[in-house]
Structure 1
């Protein structure tokens, strides 16, 4: 690239990076919009039908695109402009969400429309998130991936803390159409922010000839071939599965302690605060302790904290324990994202992120169902013990896992050619090609 190319010359401080500020703003709007819709959509279904069943079914429709399409979406994102994918996904979400307030104001809102909106918006959100992560190394440069991962985790923690009460407030005090209207407008701003980014957001080279079967499984093969990425993936995905139904468990524990509805809500507020603190401290923790000590220590500390839920704690005590656990989870999420971006070549990040999305989304409904089954059959005490057994297993795996034994170079593959991580080698870039 010629001198002065913004994709290569990155500011020393991430906050001085214009492109990263645009990425951050667009991602924050996207995260808040997703959380607002996640609350407002079941609310409007309940208002329309008075049926919790339909509210649950609409939520289940949202789970279909990540399960069925994350692998082909990841493959696509490594072959086309990630900028185009993110802008297209934003505009698709905007068009889908905007139909809700329009139909509501025209007294034409119907349940089938909400099912379609849930599916289309989930599809667009899946494509946006995979492309968003795959594009980030090109925006930050290889030496700022840890800070970028921390900022990303902060975005999701902030949106989870702020957006749900905001959505409920708008729905109740303004109009059921208001959350959807503001969400639709936010997608226009997101598209504008992505278009204004100057860095290259697409794969650097000409993609090889398409081989469907090979490329659909490439994310799995790359993950399996990189010991550190493999170990962190196992820890993260098993954690996702285990804690998929943690909200249900915490509600049961709080109710058993005599908590009011407001006090139950504070338990989840504590989790949001813990997540934000973990995101802010993750890089310092890793730098101070080293990668292996940080990851192993996180899992043993979580395993030591969780049995405190066996004590008859008041709601604030339950919130404190879960907030501390949420802090540890956020630390692992930041570390996992950092080394995923640094160990996997940028031209293969879409496929790997698609594979990660598939694993994560597949684990959530199974984990939630398992939590419900354990609570129903064995009660909260034994459910906590079952969770603790898995946490101890994860802590043991982190201790002996081969991928954590060698401290990796955190910039290994960010800017260099792929060194054996994938079977598909990128071809030389076309002169002047713009992705």
Structure 2
């Protein structure tokens, strides 16, 4: 990308953005459609939950080796190949409806395969982005990437529901079509997305730990990652906590849905504001301010707010989280050498996916033992601790020695 060129004038970024939008929309449609199909066929919430558990296995168990492959093979081939695998697996569900009903083992297999392909795509996609945009545009690109999730989270669930009501196979046909579009977008990108040939040889013992070593040796990335991982664990079960909270106050199903939609709206707004906030405030004030603001907002929940008030506060918190996500993404892409982005992203995916079930379990246990208001208090204590940690963190004050870090990266295993 030419220096000073606007993102909208970057043809390759437009293709990347279009493919990511379509991919995210298709993924969200399937996330909604899969439990609906399971419940239609079995009437069992247990099986619906087990499908979710199956989908959690690939990113948790295979993210690290996938990250190695992203740095050691063709990223373009991985992106196109994973889209093709997803298209075939999802199409098989739609075709099964033509012959009657898909078998339960078939759905479990598709859930696993599609989750594996999606994990490959996400890691390779994130690792390729710094090659597509210039260093001075990484913040804007990260913001647009965060906004994509918010838009998909708002539009996909109702769309998936409407498609499912029309025909159970329809959501899967639409999702399969999105993967064809994604593959076309990736093939149209002219920029080299990964390493030059011949590709570096794989040394599994060293390469599997490169992502962790890179994060731990860069003070800024290490501090941001620690804050984000703890926050992700804490907020993994926030939806469950909010449902219990508003239902205790007599909220209807529609009002509960409004509350659960608020994070997506907040995420969109936060992704649009993140770069401006960071440019005006700088890294340390932006991150520290976010954590104190989140703790202050969360303290409003025990005040017996109406459902619309809960939605506003939750949306505002999500805005803060989106801001931090964008800032972390920009610093990650700026400070980590390009040749190690896949392994770093694989490590971060492993941390994120490992923290999600833990966060759900902790939230459920807290609700069972402490009730909604006791759990809110426990959350507030952790949020205040995070705010203090961000305030005193030396890593956030460390200079961003990008060139030095790149030199270090060449001396380490690249």
* TM-score range normalised by the length of the shorter chain: over 0.9
2:350 corresponding residue in structure 1 = 358
1:332 corresponds to which of 311, 324, 328: 324
1:119 corresponding residue in structure 2 = 112
Query: CA offsets, 1:144-200, max 9 Å, x none?
Result: 10000000000011111110111011111x101000001001100100000000011
1:58 corresponding residue in structure 2 = 51
1:67 corresponding residue in structure 2 = 60
Corresponding position: 1:341 with 2:333: yes
Aligned equivalents of 1:208 and 1:138: distance in 2? Answer: 18
SS in 2 for 1:420: helix
SS in 1 for 2:167: coil
SS in 1 for 2:300: helix
1:316 corresponding residue in structure 2 = 308
Query: CA offsets, 1:242-272, max 9 Å, x none?
Result: 0000000000111011110000011122221
TM-score when scaled to structure 1? 0.93
2:155 corresponding residue in structure 1 = 162
1:370 corresponding residue in structure 2 = 362
Q: Note the C-alpha offset of 1:208.
A: 4.1
**Alpha-carbon contact 1:11-1:17 (below 8 Å) kept:** no
Aligned length: 414
What aligned pairs does 1:202-217 form with structure 2 within 5 A after superposition? 202-204=194-196, 206-217=198-209
1:13 corresponds to which of 6, 9, 26: 6
**Alpha-carbon contact 1:146-1:334 (below 8 Å) kept:** yes
Corresponding position: 1:276 with 2:268: yes
Aligned equivalents of 2:245 and 2:410: distance in 1? Answer: 46
CA RMSD of aligned residues (A): 1.4
Q: Note the C-alpha offset of 1:421.
A: 3.7
2:406 corresponding residue in structure 1 = 418
1:143 corresponding residue in structure 2 = 136
Runs of 4+ in 1 over 3 A off after TM superposition: 8-11, 204-209, 421-426
SS in 1 for 2:407: coil
Corresponding position: 1:176 with 2:168: yes
Change (3 A) 1:208 1:86: closer
Gaps of 5+ in 2: none
Aligned equivalents of 1:136 and 1:399: distance in 2? Answer: 31
Query: CA offsets, 1:291-347, max 9 Å, x none?
Result: 100000000110111011011111001101101100000000000101010100011
What aligned pairs does 1:374-385 form with structure 2 within 5 A after superposition? 374-385=366-377
Corresponding position: 1:234 with 2:234: no
**Alpha-carbon contact 1:79-1:203 (below 8 Å) kept:** yes
Q: Note the C-alpha offset of 1:211.
A: 1.7
**Alpha-carbon contact 1:150-1:282 (below 8 Å) kept:** yes
Aligned equivalents of 1:257 and 1:358: distance in 2? Answer: 37
Q: Note the C-alpha offset of 1:17.
A: 0.5
TM-score when scaled to structure 2? 0.97
Corresponding position: 1:250 with 2:242: yes
1:430 corresponding residue in structure 2 = none
What aligned pairs does 1:192-211 form with structure 2 within 5 A after superposition? 192-204=184-196, 206-211=198-203
Aligned equivalents of 2:260 and 2:399: distance in 1? Answer: 35
1:266 corresponding residue in structure 2 = 258
Aligned equivalents of 1:362 and 1:423: distance in 2? Answer: 30
Aligned equivalents of 2:19 and 2:48: distance in 1? Answer: 29
Q: Note the C-alpha offset of 1:9.
A: 3.3
Aligned equivalents of 1:249 and 1:42: distance in 2? Answer: 21
Change (3 A) 1:423 1:365: farther
2:79 corresponds to which of 86, 89, 105: 86
**Alpha-carbon contact 2:87-2:175 (below 8 Å) kept:** yes
**Alpha-carbon contact 1:220-1:352 (below 8 Å) kept:** yes
**Alpha-carbon contact 2:72-2:201 (below 8 Å) kept:** no
Q: Note the C-alpha offset of 1:425.
A: 4.8
Q: Note the C-alpha offset of 1:204.
A: 4.2
Gaps of 5+ in 1: 1-7, 427-435
